[in-house]
């Protein structure tokens, strides 16, 4: 370059020859005047491919518009532009995707055709890949498991993983946990992107062919990284079923079992069609993701089972028909909020009297429903003994204390009420706790 002294030339020669970072000197038109070969993307290019060329000519995939904008910003403001990330295929190896950290330093007194900007390029591909994996793990922990609903949890998982970590993701769950996973039907619970995978739509339930990476992962509970090509042997176990993989251009996949200490729940499968295949580091991340997801899915499945059992028990313990009454026309509508401990009863008594009961056990689930059933039976038994009101309430207090130490029962009603279809509050005008009942004064 013109104006260089011998000392300047020696310094520049040492700098360009020994720098571990890629260095590019650009003119005012952002053409390369000088560069070194430390830049990973240009090490395989000849000088004719780089010198005198703009970045859009020798590295068209590396966001040339972004790089030109950053260089122009440095020129126009006369201030450095530091540490900006640029991604894209390597100029010398299109199958290799690079993440580059670039800084642009303007030179004073630049004139047309003279050095104007020095660009420093550092390859941070490996470090950025690790940061991206950590970000995916953080996103899974933050986004998955917000509800106790199995399809919603599976949907959160696949939406979090696509497209940052995988180009497509699927969650398939065994219809019956605890059964032998080989040839057991798996139900497609979630898939991303939203467009359903041809041949296995969401909600479809059928086994995967054997032997395949899917059945192997279910059998040994080991996650595996699987390369995919049109001539891969296991694809022949179901050519029509696996045709969408080949048609979509999937070349790399991870199959990770979703399992708890009690056995497999199903599979998380990740697919890539992008340039970079999955690596061993991605497999480690997938294992952690699958473990986290399995815990959330197991919680959701347990909650659903308990909720269904509690709801069935709750329905079973409610009156199914009102008794025939001569003094009262009774009717009801019962809209429970969930599977809890609420109940009602209509109990005929002697002398055309009727006891109208509304009760509730604090809490939800099987325990609350079971406690409700015990209290309802006890209250009906005591009521049929034709006890005085204060004695009935005292006995009920004793029963409630023995039935459950934590749940409390609340009630409204008059014991026994006048012949009427309405109810009035318990003594004191407010719901009472079974533990706080005292003989009326």
Q: What is the pLDDT of residues 149-177, one digit of tens each?
A: 999 999 999 999 999 999 999 999 998 76
359 within 8 A of 368, measured Cβ to Cβ: no
State the pTM of this model: 0.67
pLDDT band for position 314 (cuts 50, 70, 90): low
**For the structural domain made of 6-123, what CATH number should be given?**
3.30.450.20
314 within 8 A of 340, measured Cβ to Cβ: yes
For the segment(s) 129-305, the CATH number from 3.40.50.300, 3.30.2450.30, 1.25.40.10, 3.30.450.40 is 3.30.450.40
Per-residue pLDDT tens digits for 68-79:
999 999 999 999
Distance CA 356, CA 418 (A): 10
SS3 340: strand
Query: pLDDT value at position 20?
Result: 75
Distance set, CA 119 to CA 3, 37, 55 (Å): 20, 13, 12
Distance CA 268, CA 296 (A): 13
What's the whole-number mean pLDDT along residues 404-417?
A: 43
Distance CA 49, CA 191 (A): 44
Please state, rounded to an integer, the average pLDDT across all residues of the chain. 80
Radius of gyration of the chain measured on its C-alpha atoms? 36
Among 72, 263, 274, smallest CA distance to 180 is for 263
What's the whole-number mean pLDDT along residues 94-103?
A: 86
Per-residue pLDDT tens digits for 25-53:
899 899 998 888 777 677 778 888 889 88
């Amino acid at each position: 370059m013109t104006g260089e002294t011998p000392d300047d030339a020696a310094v520049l020669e040492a700098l360009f020859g020994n720098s571990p970072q890629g260095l590019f000197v650009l003119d005012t038109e952002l053409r390369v005047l000088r560069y070194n070969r430390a830049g990973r993307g240009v090490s395989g290019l000849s000088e004719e491919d780089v010198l005198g060329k703009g970045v859009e000519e020798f590295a068209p995939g590396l966001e040339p518009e972004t790089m030109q904008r950053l260089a122009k910003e440095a020129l126009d403001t006369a201030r450095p532009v530091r540490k900006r990330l640029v991604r894209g295929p390597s100029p010398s190896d299109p199958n290799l995707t690079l993440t580059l950290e670039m800084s642009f330093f303007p030179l004073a007194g630049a004139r047309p055709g003279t050095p104007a900007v020095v660009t420093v390029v550092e390859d941070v591909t490996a470090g950025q890949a690790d940061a991206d994996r950590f970000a995916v793990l953080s996103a899974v922990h933050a986004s998955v498991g917000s509800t106790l609903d199995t399809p919603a949890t599976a949907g959160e998982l696949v939406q979090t993983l696509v497209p940052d970590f995988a180009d497509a993701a699927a969650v398939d769950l065994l219809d019956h946990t605890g059964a032998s996973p080989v040839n057991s039907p798996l139900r497609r619970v979630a898939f991303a992107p939203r467009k359903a995978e041809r041949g296995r739509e969401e909600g479809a339930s059928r086994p995967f062919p054997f032997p395949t990476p899917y059945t192997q992962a279910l059998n040994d509970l080991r996650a595996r990284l699987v390369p995919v090509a049109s001539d891969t042997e296991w694809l022949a176990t179901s050519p029509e079923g696996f045709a969408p993989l080949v048609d979509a251009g999937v070349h790399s996949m991870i199959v990770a079992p979703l399992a708890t200490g009690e056995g497999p729940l199903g599979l998380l499968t990740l697919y890539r069609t992008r340039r970079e295949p999955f690596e061993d580091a991605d497999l480690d991340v997938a294992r952690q993701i699958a473990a986290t997801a399995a815990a959330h899915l197991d919680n959701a499945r347990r909650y659903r089972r308990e909720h269904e059992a509690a709801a069935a028990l709750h329905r079973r313990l409610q009156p199914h028909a009102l008794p025939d009454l001569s003094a009262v026309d009774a009717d009801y509508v019962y809209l429970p909020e969930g599977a809890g401990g609420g109940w009602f009863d209509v109990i005929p008594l002697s002398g055309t009297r009727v006891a109208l009961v509304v009760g509730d056990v604090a809490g939800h689930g099987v325990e609350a429903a079971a406690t409700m059933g015990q209290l309802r039976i006890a209250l009906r038994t005591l009521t049929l003994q034709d006890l005085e009101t204060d004695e009935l309430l005292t006995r009920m207090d004793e029963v409630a204390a023995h039935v459950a130490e934590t749940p409390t029962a609340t009630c409204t009603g008059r014991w026994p009420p006048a012949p009427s279809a309405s109810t009035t509050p318990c003594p004191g005008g407010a719901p009472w706790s079974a533990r706080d009942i005292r003989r009326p004064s």
